[in-house]
Structure 1
Amino acid sequence: MADRVLRATLVVNHRIFLYGTLCDPELFAIVAGEPFNPRPALLDDHASVWARDESFPLIVRRPGARTEGAIVEVGDAAKARLDFYELGFHYTLEPVTVNAGGVALESLVYFPDAGKWAEGQPWSLPEWQHVFGTHAREAATEYMSLIATHSPEAAAAAFPQIRMRAASRLRAGANPTPHAAGPEMRVEDVNLSVSRQPYTKFFALREDDLQFPTFGGGLSEMVNRATFLGGDAVTILPYDPKLDCVLLIRQFRHGVYVRGDSNPWTIEPAAGRIDPGETPEETALRELREETGAVATKLFRVAEYYPSPSAFSEFIYSFVALADLSEQDGRTAGLESENEDIMSHVIPFERLMEFLETGAANTAPLVLSALWLASRRETLRRAD
């Protein structure tokens, strides 16, 4: 009996030298699932640098250099979580000897695959915490929820979308929907019982069992709700006041296809997801160039909205832009990396209004932007 108790209490500790983002106590706790209890340490003949044009560091072998960091001792469970967070991003765990208060200790360190990223400036944890820390912690929360269902490589493949969703949640927290009518309800009063995320890829699916406050007082019955998770997005409709024309794009849309529509090539404004660190305006200008080649000279914000709040978390910022469209009709564009195949169509404004009447314009951002433009078209033409 005593032997069984002794074996049950044995914990295998792994000593790991940390030099980068995991030296942030909050991020470490999210990833490892336990508090950050570091011991300062130095690694000789190595340097920690930013990966060029990225938001994370590298450790590189450099004779005569010295990297300041910390060692942690973790059990099997925490090490498995740290491995999950690191190994899918082309890092491998290798043994090193570190100096901890004058004592040489064998440790492990996550090294990047050779040649994967270019070296940048010397790494700064305070700079990272100030610029990227909040977003990285938010993304890590969703990322670590995948540990039971995804390999490190599969989770890493979904990370760009996870980062977009994290930025979306932070944007929503900073700019909540204004209260328009009483009684005022509090999100803190929603009772979330169980939350699951059974699918994560370009989109994610979140399923919750919850109770929400009712207008009559008290809580609803326990209900099951599911929502597709997406990042925030922009749409941008270019208008040329001199030509009195708009530019529309046409492309294959899977959602229209799976509904059974025999014409899944929709006409729309240019559109795209907001990358972390971008403003909606910056995204609109970038997407317009990428998808059409047109350059906006002025932006007008049309509206900010949830296109289908019962089923999608996506939030859209729609714009109309002034642009020279004289050379844009019939161009094809799109990013090869995203398998985009996009054709531009420059049409008279009156034809756009016909599209509204016939139903050829049947995407919400286009209808909304077209109606906004119709109400301000004459003003824009006079100003030009």
Structure 2
Amino acid sequence: MTATTNLFLYGTLRDPELLGIVAGSSPSGRQATLADHAVFWAKGEAFPIIASQPGSHTEGILIEADPTQKAGLDYYELDFGYMLVDATFSVGAEQIDGQLYVPKPKKWEIGELWSLSEWQAQHGALAREAAVEYMRLQPWLSAADAGRVFSQIRSRAFSRIRARKSPSPQVPGTTYAAADVLISKTSQPYTDYFAVREDWLQFPRYDGSLSRAVKRASFLGGDAVTVLPFDPKTEKVLAIQQFRHGALVRGDTNPWCLEPPAGRIDPGETAEEAALRELSEEAGLLANSLLKIAEYYPTSGAFSEHLTSFIARCDLDGRDAFVGGVKGEAEDILSHVMPLADLLEMCRTGQANTGPLIMSALWLEANRHTLGTE
């Protein structure tokens, strides 16, 4: 008979869907209480911590985790500042010994009393989606290495949530959907700021048959924005220039690229909020207004990144040669202010050779006469 471990779950793992993702299956469990403890929000964070509080009782579930389930739960908890401790729990009139995950001493400050339903409403969807990718890494990465890139995992999870909420419109005459793709195996051999996902799959063909089993790989990234600043008074624009590793590894001898200000949409942000933040961080600008150009995949065959591009009405006086960027991210970004006509000529000659900048410049050329009065 396989040995099991009694584990008391008092926080986010009381969410049945999250528990199933982390444990790999749903362990059997019973309602239980822990005396003289209470559960609080970790101050400024989106998760709970348990702390001693004489006279209080913490409600939870006591599960019997088999070794595989226990390994998954340890992988999810122990390298995020938690540790396992022994305790005795009440299950009805019975006292049962077991363990629970508690925060390491002085790891976080205590906030308000925590609520499972409040957490589920505010943070549950993102936590579950992030856990899917995080637990996929268990065969390849240590928990410490996976935890190091957890912010990137959350960014990609937020991208998937956004995709489900706003799927691409169907092209007339086609009816296929993601559910029609049969995936037999998924792996993620590389995970960091970006990740690489490999799938063995079959997809529906236009003749109604299924393709043979094929291997496909894509870069995984978060959703992002681009924003081209435009001054309607002077008909000038601002483009930024910075070192780009992608151009370097392609072999380009000039890997300093012209682009619009751009960056990822952080979890919980709207595309508009991200555009305004990136405009400030990279170019030191405040926008008078934003106009959305389009939402699109720049390289759908190889990269999951989905862009939303904007034009920002701005005052560009004195902004040429401004150097911006977030110091903690090792950014070094030079601003160039120029007439729109000059940017269009740079697109023609290839001096401007990044897709979002070319697309934004062409859109602006077609629509600029309306931007000063809207």
Kept in 2, the 8 Å contact 1:291–1:333? The answer is yes
Match of 1:92 among 66, 83, 86: 83
Letter in 2 for 1:104: Q
Whole-Å separation in 2 of the counterparts to 1:109 and 1:334: 43
Match of 2:252 among 261, 273, 295: 261
TM-score (norm 2): 0.95
Aligned to 2:98: 107
Cα distance 1:289–1:64, how it changes in 2: closer, same or farther (>3 A)? farther
Aligned to 1:226: 217
The aligned runs of 1:9-20 (5 Å cut-off) are: 9=1, 11-20=2-11
Kept in 2, the 8 Å contact 1:239–1:321? The answer is yes
Residue 28 of structure 1 and its aligned partner are, at CA, apart by 0.5
Aligned to 2:348: 357
Aligned to 1:189: 180
Aligned to 2:279: 288
Q: Which moved more, 1:60-69 or 1:216-225?
A: 60-69
Q: Output the aligned Cα RMSD.
A: 1.7
Residue 187 of structure 1 and its aligned partner are, at CA, apart by 2.8
Match of 1:21 among 12, 36, 39: 12
Kept in 2, the 8 Å contact 1:88–1:154? The answer is no
Aligned to 1:127: 118
Whole-Å separation in 2 of the counterparts to 1:205 and 1:129: 29
Matched residue of 1:160: which SS? helix
Q: Which moved more, 1:103-112 or 1:276-285?
A: 103-112
Matched residue of 1:150: which SS? coil
Residue 83 of structure 1 and its aligned partner are, at CA, apart by 0.3
The aligned runs of 1:323-338 (5 Å cut-off) are: 323-338=314-329
Tell me whether 1:272 sits opposite 2:268 in the alignment.
no
Whole-Å separation in 2 of the counterparts to 1:45 and 1:352: 67
Tell me whether 1:217 sits opposite 2:208 in the alignment.
yes
The aligned runs of 1:167-178 (5 Å cut-off) are: 167-178=158-169
Tell me whether 1:310 sits opposite 2:310 in the alignment.
no
Whole-Å separation in 2 of the counterparts to 1:45 and 1:308: 55
Percent identity over the alignment is: 52
Match of 1:150 among 125, 141, 152: 141
Letter in 2 for 1:69: G
Cα distance 1:374–1:27, how it changes in 2: closer, same or farther (>3 A)? same
Kept in 1, the 8 Å contact 2:136–2:187? The answer is no
Residue 38 of structure 1 and its aligned partner are, at CA, apart by 2.6
Whole-Å separation in 1 of the counterparts to 2:156 and 2:292: 22
Letter in 2 for 1:151: S
Letter in 2 for 1:301: K
Whole-Å separation in 1 of the counterparts to 2:313 and 2:158: 28
Tell me whether 1:206 sits opposite 2:197 in the alignment.
yes
Whole-Å separation in 1 of the counterparts to 2:306 and 2:236: 27
Whole-Å separation in 2 of the counterparts to 1:93 and 1:334: 41
Whole-Å separation in 2 of the counterparts to 1:113 and 1:344: 45
1:132-166 Cα deviation digits (max 9, x unpaired): 11221111111111111111111111211111111
Letter in 1 for 2:26: P
Whole-Å separation in 2 of the counterparts to 1:184 and 1:279: 29
Cα distance 1:337–1:64, how it changes in 2: closer, same or farther (>3 A)? farther
Match of 1:369 among 335, 350, 360: 360
5+ residue gaps, structure 2, are none
Runs of 4+ in 1 over 4 A off after TM superposition: none
TM-score (norm 1): 0.93
Whole-Å separation in 2 of the counterparts to 1:140 and 1:60: 25
Residue 210 of structure 1 and its aligned partner are, at CA, apart by 1.6
Residue 36 of structure 1 and its aligned partner are, at CA, apart by 4.4
1:297-332 Cα deviation digits (max 9, x unpaired): 211001111101111111110011112222422222
Matched residue of 2:72: which SS? helix
5+ residue gaps, structure 1, are 1-8
Kept in 2, the 8 Å contact 1:197–1:204? The answer is yes
1:321-359 Cα deviation digits (max 9, x unpaired): 112222422222222332222222222222212211221
How many pairs were matched up?
374
Kept in 2, the 8 Å contact 1:143–1:159? The answer is yes
Q: Which moved more, 1:287-296 or 1:101-110?
A: 101-110
Q: Which moved more, 1:73-82 or 1:170-179?
A: 170-179
Residue 48 of structure 1 and its aligned partner are, at CA, apart by 1.1
1:87-131 Cα deviation digits (max 9, x unpaired): 121111122233332433322121222333332221110011112
